Amino acid sequence: MVLSCDGVRKTFGAAVVLDGLSLEVGEHEVVALIGASGSGKSTLLRCVNLLAEIDDGTIRLDGEDITDPRTDADLVRRKIGLVFQSYNLFPHMTVLDNITLAPVRVHKRPAAEAKEQALEWLARVGLADKATSYPDRLSGGQQQRVAIVRALVNNPRLLLLDEVTSALDPELVGEVLTMIRDLKGDGMTMVLATHEMGFARQVADRVAFLDRGSVLEQGPPEQVLGDPVEARTRQFLARIIEAGRL
């Protein structure tokens, strides 16, 4: 298992956001997290990346307990990529500098080599001409693709995608989803929180429905999205269909 979460609990004051959540993700597997707002999808991703500290349970990366307080969080984060809903590119740096910052400063790779790799990636995702642009000159879809490249150049073991298309105009969603589909083709292990049910069905090997801070139901996309066992999953999907999102 690349990632295994066991009995993870996370509270913010009185609010219990993750309540004994368990989830396993195998090598080359793509797991889509679905569920209502506040069901804990984003919180789980932040906990896995150690940006938030869990209150109980364990999270293992390649079998190693990363929630042990003695682990070096910086070392763990080097192996996990995280892409945010709001891109969070660094506005004072060019696209190229955004991408090469971690390879050069964290992984201590030669600047020329990091630049070459960044340019290759940009060419691959169709943004070669944007290398010297600043993020505010890019569309949302372009910014999000740069953010994904920025996470990928660290060669992560695991890529976490936190509702990466939620802030995008509908006509820009496709370009980001195409990129993620390509990554699946490359064998990247991914966990993605998403509201795009159609996309989850296409790209995910497994869909996990989060409800009240734990995984209520999980399985192949056709089963969870097409013929859910749990009543709450059915309710959730009914609301999604009502909103015209499936």
Partner 1 sequence: MTPSTIQQDRIAYRRRQAIRSVLLAALSTAVLGTLLGVLITGAPGWQRVRQSFLDPHIGREFLPTILQGLWLNLRMLVVCSLCALTLGLLVAVLRTLRGPVFFPVRALATLYTYSFRGLPLIIVIYLFAFGIPGLRLQATPNVTVLGGAAIVITYGAYLAEVFRAGIESVHPSQIAAARSLGLSYRQAMRFVVLPQAVRRVAPPLLNDTVALQKDVGLISLAGPIDAIRAAQIGVAQTANFTPYVVAGVLFVLLALPLIGITDWVTLRAARRQNAGA
Per rule CB under 8 A, is residue 82 in the interface with partner 1? yes
- Token pair in block for residue 178: 């195409």
Residue among 10, 41, 77, 130 that touches partner 1 (CB under 8 A): 77
CA distances 217 to 26, 131, 200, 212, Å, are 17, 43, 15, 12
- Token pair in block for residue 38: 């506040």
Residue among 92, 108, 129, 186 that touches partner 1 (CB under 8 A): 92
Per rule CB under 8 A, is residue 111 in the interface with partner 1? no
The nearest distance, CB 67 to partner 1, in angstroms, is 16
Binding segment toward partner 1, per CB under 8 A, in 57-65, 87-95, 171-179, 237-245: 87-95
Per rule CB under 8 A, is residue 132 in the interface with partner 1? no
Residue found under tokens 């999270």: 59
The nearest distance, CB 106 to partner 1, in angstroms, is 4
Per rule CB under 8 A, is residue 202 in the interface with partner 1? no
Residue 72 near residue 232, CB atoms below 8 Å: no
Binding segment toward partner 1, per CB under 8 A, in 15-23, 85-93, 207-215, 218-226: 85-93
Per rule CB under 8 A, is residue 189 in the interface with partner 1? no
The nearest distance, CB 107 to partner 1, in angstroms, is 8
Per rule CB under 8 A, is residue 51 in the interface with partner 1? yes
Binding segment toward partner 1, per CB under 8 A, in 21-29, 115-123, 150-158, 206-214: 150-158
Q: Which is nearer to partner 1, 51 or 128 (CB)?
A: 51
Per rule CB under 8 A, is residue 141 in the interface with partner 1? no
Q: Which is nearer to partner 1, 13 or 91 (CB)?
A: 91
Q: How many CA atoms lie within 13 A of 23 on its CB side?
A: 33
Binding segment toward partner 1, per CB under 8 A, in 77-85, 172-180, 198-206, 210-218: 77-85
Residue found under tokens 């910086």: 74
Residue ranges binding partner 1 (CB under 8 A): 46, 49, 51, 73-75, 77-78, 80-82, 84, 86, 88-92, 101-102, 105-107, 134, 136, 150-151, 154
